[in-house]
Structure 1
Amino acid sequence: MASETKEVVKEFRFFRVYKDGRIELFRPPVEKIPPSDDPNTGVRSKDVVISSDPPVSARIFLPRVSDPEQKLPLLFYIHGGGFCMQSAFSLGHHNFVSTVAAEAEAIAVSVEYGLFPARPIPACYEDSWAALRWVVGHADGDGPDAWLNEHADFRRVFIGGNSAGGNISHTLTAWVGSIGLPAGVRVVGVILVQPYFGGTEDDHMWMYMCPTNGGLSDPRLKPTEEDLARLGCEKVLVFVAEKDHLREVAIGYGEELKKSGWRGSVELVEHVGEEHGFQIRDPKNEKAVELKDKFVSFIKDN
Structure 2
Amino acid sequence: MNTHSDEVALEFPLFFRIYKDGRIERFAGTDTTPPGTDARTGVQSKDVIIDQETGVSARLYLPKTTSTSSTGKLPLLIYIHGGAFCICSPFNRTYHEHVNSVVHEGNVVVVSVNYRLAPEHPLPIAYDDSWAAVQWAASHSKGSGPEPWLNDHADFGRVYLAGDSAGANLSHNMAVRAAADGLDGVKLAGLVLIHPFFGNNKRDPLLDYLFPTMDKSGDPRIEAAEDPKLSTVACSKVLVMVAENDFLRDRGLTYYEALKKSGWGGRADMVEAEGENHVFHLSNPNGEKAAALLKQFVSFMG
Name the residue aligned to 2:58.
58
Matched, 1:227 2:229: yes
Q: What secondary structure, in the 3-state scheme, does the structure 1 residue paired with 2:49 have? A: strand
Shift of 1:120: 1.2
Distance 2:295 2:153 in 1: 23
Matches within 5 A, 1:121-270: 121-182=123-184, 184-199=185-200, 203-223=204-224, 224-270=226-272
- Corresponding letter in the other structure for 1:219: P
Identify if the C-alpha distance between structure 1 residues 255 and 13 changes in structure 2 by more than 3 Å, giving closer, same or farther.
Answer: farther
Distance 2:114 2:213 in 1: 22
What are the superposed Cα offsets for residues 9-50 of structure 1, whole Å, 9 maximum, x if unpaired?
6757634567x5857556145211110112322211111100
Q: Structure 1: which 5+ runs fail to align?
A: none
Distance 2:41 2:14 in 1: 37
Name the residue aligned to 1:41.
41
Aligned residues, how many?
298
- Corresponding letter in the other structure for 2:222: L
Identify if the C-alpha distance between structure 1 residues 220 and 21 changes in structure 2 by more than 3 Å, giving closer, same or farther.
Answer: farther
Q: Structure 2: which 5+ runs fail to align?
A: none
Name the residue aligned to 2:113.
111
Q: What secondary structure, in the 3-state scheme, does the structure 2 residue paired with 1:51 have? A: coil
Shift of 1:3: 8.4
Distance 1:217 1:23 in 2: 31
Please say if residues 13 and 202 of structure 1, whose CA atoms lie closer than 8 Å, have aligned partners that are also in contact: no
Distance 2:132 2:31 in 1: 25
Q: What secondary structure, in the 3-state scheme, does the structure 2 residue paired with 1:226 have? A: coil
Matches within 5 A, 1:4-15: 4=5, 6=7, 11=12, 14-15=15-16
State the 4+ residue runs in structure 1 displaced beyond 2 angstroms.
1-18, 20-26, 65-69, 200-204
- Corresponding letter in the other structure for 2:44: R
Name the residue aligned to 1:98.
100
Distance 1:145 1:3 in 2: 42
Please say if residues 61 and 110 of structure 2, whose CA atoms lie closer than 8 Å, have aligned partners that are also in contact: yes
Q: What secondary structure, in the 3-state scheme, does the structure 2 residue paired with 1:130 have? A: helix
- Corresponding letter in the other structure for 1:255: E
Q: What secondary structure, in the 3-state scheme, does the structure 2 residue paired with 1:215 have? A: coil
| Aligned Cα root-mean-square deviation (Å) | 2.2
Identify if the C-alpha distance between structure 1 residues 139 and 78 changes in structure 2 by more than 3 Å, giving closer, same or farther.
Answer: same
Q: What secondary structure, in the 3-state scheme, does the structure 2 residue paired with 1:108 have? A: strand
Shift of 1:163: 0.6
- Corresponding letter in the other structure for 1:199: N
Please say if residues 243 and 275 of structure 1, whose CA atoms lie closer than 8 Å, have aligned partners that are also in contact: yes
What are the superposed Cα offsets for residues 71-91 of structure 1, whole Å, 9 maximum, x if unpaired?
100000000111110110111
What are the superposed Cα offsets for residues 112-169 of structure 1, whole Å, 9 maximum, x if unpaired?
1100122111121111100010001000100000010011000100000001100100
Distance 1:242 1:141 in 2: 43
